[in-house]
Every structure is written in structure tokens, then in C-alpha cells.
Amino acid sequence: MSERSVLGDGTRVVRAGLPPAVPGQPFLPGPVFAAPYHLDPATGPVPGRDGYGRTDNPTWRALESAIGDLEGGECVVFSSGMAAITAVLLTVLRPGDTVVLPADGYYRTRALAAQTLAGLGVTVREVPTAGRYPPFDGVALVLLETPANPGLDVCDIAALASVAHGAGALVAVDSTTATPLGQQPLALGADLVVASGTKALTGHSDLVLGYVAGPALDPIRNWRNGTGAVPGPFETWLAHRSLSTLDLRLARQSATAAAVADLLATRPEVGSVRWPGRPADPAYPVASRQMRRIPGIVTFTLPDAAHVARFLGATRLVGAATSFGGPHTTADRRAQWGDPVPDGLVRLSCGLEDTADVVADLTAALDTAAGSG
């Protein structure tokens, strides 16, 4: 039995990617800032030795080792989640190919497809995360996003991968919302995992990062090296430092999300509540068997944009901000970004505050917003 299967998640995230213990050296070496490195004056560049900062950095490699261990494959880190998604789409797809994208996933991915892929001669099909999915005959790539952002629908990765592979398609999973502790797409049959490390993975709202994970990533790495979509060493080091608390952060955020979803389900002004951990949620049957943790995100609908503004204005602990997975509870009215969702749909990201305090603050803010409408 491997060490990876023996150790618990909390232990794994604390130790992932750390170098061997050497007396006098830190647990996690600091970031290496370098554009050029010293070359041998006689031999010049040597494979396996750092030569230039766009392609070589030991701080990247340490983080890639850590995330690769958590995902169960190799890892290549990027300057953002969108850079990682772009690398997958433009590395895998060729003119004449067909790609299937989530109709309810991250809106920037759909915009990239419409603005870039279609112009390159790639046929783009959009399908809701919950399905139904059409036959995959002639499809080169199926990109899933599960749980979907912002609606939190969940799809059965293993079942979809089996059908897609039977038709000759590759499967990539955007697992940003879940993180590698929430689900293991590669173990469920996916060929690639793509994610934004900006959000819950690093969880401090202080960096922008992305990554691709999979069994053989030389084409992805070559794409990054050729296009220069590289992360900064300090951001990379911050990300690695932040991994050690991932297990603890997810536990608090998920517990708070469960309590918040229960509260919202009792409110007459709330039109819908989505959190895949609730037995009443449509995604629960798949999420309960596929996911190891449910993320700390709750999506719900208030009557309109004005009601959302009153609600956010009345809170003390909820910041109006986009992104999710950080230490502070935040809320985001998704229609303001162009998502095709109801005007009053709110994506609430539960932070690390005490659960009881968040619930009390939301209750008071909901009461105020409803009473002043």
C-alpha cells in the first residue's frame, strides 16, 4: 500500500511537495526569483539544469509536485485558471474538431470558445452539467465542470468518461469548485483536470493561479513554455504555503455552508437554494457518492437585483466580491457579470468565520432586506 493511500488528507496537504529534511534548511524553501541562471561557460544549457526563468523554476516544481500528489498525476502550473483552460483547449483541439462545454459552467470558458475556438474552425456544443448529454460521436474533447459554477449542478464523471471514451473523446474536468480533496477526477476516469488555484485550493484571496493535472503533460508543459503563461515565483510559493491548511479550511467552509443552506431553505423570499450536500438538492445523489467533501458555496435566488443590494448592504460579515473559497464570507450577484442566470441569483462563498456568527448575520440581513422592500 502506498504512502498516499495510508496518510489522511490533513497530513498529505501539510507535507505535499516538501523537500527532504536537511538540518539548517526550512520546511518550505522560499521563492526563487530568477530570469537567467548561471550556465556552464563551456557546455551552455544542460537538460535538467535551470537555465532560463520562463521554462525553469524550482518553486514551480515544488508546487507541481504537491498538487500532482493530491490529484494523482503530473501537474503543470499556470499564471491563472483561464491560462490553464486555454492550454487544454488549444493543445487538444484542431480545426474541424468538436468540443462539448458546460452550458452552465464558468462564463469565461464559454466566451473563450465563442471568441476563439469557433474562429479556428472548432465546433462548440454546450450541454447543461446535469445533462442530458447527446452522443459523443465525432467529439474530440468533453470539458466538464462539476460542481458547476455558479449553479452547483454535479455530473457523474465516471459514467460520462466511460461513454466519452467509448466514442473516442478525451475528458477534462474543471474541478475548481471541488478541489482535489473534494473529488478525484483522474481516479474516476478523466484524462485531465484543470482548475483555478486562485480560489479554495489556496484560499487566502491573495493570488491568481491555475493548473492542469494528468498522467502525461509534456504537450501542456510545452504550450506553457512556448506561450509564456507562467506564474510568478512568489505567487507559487504562497500557493504551496497555503495548501497546508486546505483540509481545515474546507471542513469549516462546508460546515458553514450546510447551516446556511438550511437557513435559506426556510426563507419565503428565497426562490431556490442549491448546495449539493443537502439531501433535497437535485445534485445530492451523484455528489454523495462521487465527492469526498462538499464545497463551502451556496447558490440561492432573491426576488431581484434591488433585493440583493439591500441584503448585502445589511450584512456585517459578508463582503460583496467575486471569486470564492477565501477566508472571508463573500457574496456575488452573478447576473452582473453576464451569466445567463436570474437577476437575483447570489453565489455565497462561506469563509472561516464562526458558523453561528455567519448564520446570525445572514438572518438579520435577510430580515432587514425583506422588511425594507
Q: In what order do the strands lie in the sheet with 319-320?
A: 273-274, 297-301, 345-349, 330-333, 319-320
| Residue 352 confidence (pLDDT) | 98
Confidence of residue 338 (pLDDT cuts 50, 70, 90): confident
Residue 330 has pLDDT above 90, yes or no: yes
Using alpha carbons, list the distances in angstroms from residue 359 to 133, 203, 338: 38, 21, 29
| Residue 41 confidence (pLDDT) | 94
Strands 210-214 and 273-274, sheet pairing: unpaired
Q: What is the dihedral of CA 83, 209, 259, 373, to 10 degrees?
A: -70
In the structure grid, which three cell numbers stand for residue 286, read together?
451523484
Confidence of residue 4 (pLDDT cuts 50, 70, 90): low
CB 353 within 8 A of CB 329: yes
Confidence of residue 6 (pLDDT cuts 50, 70, 90): confident
Mind giving me the DSSP string for 59-89? Answer: HHHHHHHHHHHHHTSEEEEESSHHHHHHHHH
Residue 1 has pLDDT above 90, yes or no: no
Q: How far apart are CA 145 and CA 151, in angstroms?
A: 11
List, in order of start, the domains of the chain with CATH numbers: 3-243 (3.40.640.10), 246-371 (3.90.1150.10)
- pTM: predicted TM-score of the whole model, two decimal places: 0.95
* Per-residue pLDDT tens over the stretch 270-287: 999 999 999 999 999 999
According to DSSP, the residues that pair with 102 across neighbouring strands are 127
Residue 2 has pLDDT above 60, yes or no: no
Quickly count: other Cβ atoms within 10 Å of residue 81's Cβ: 24
Q: How far apart are CA 330 and CA 348, in angstroms?
A: 6
| Residue 373 confidence (pLDDT) | 64
Q: Give the residue numbers annotated as catalytic, written as ranges.
A: 54, 106, 174, 199
Which residue in 231, 152, 228 sits closest to 196, CA to CA? 231
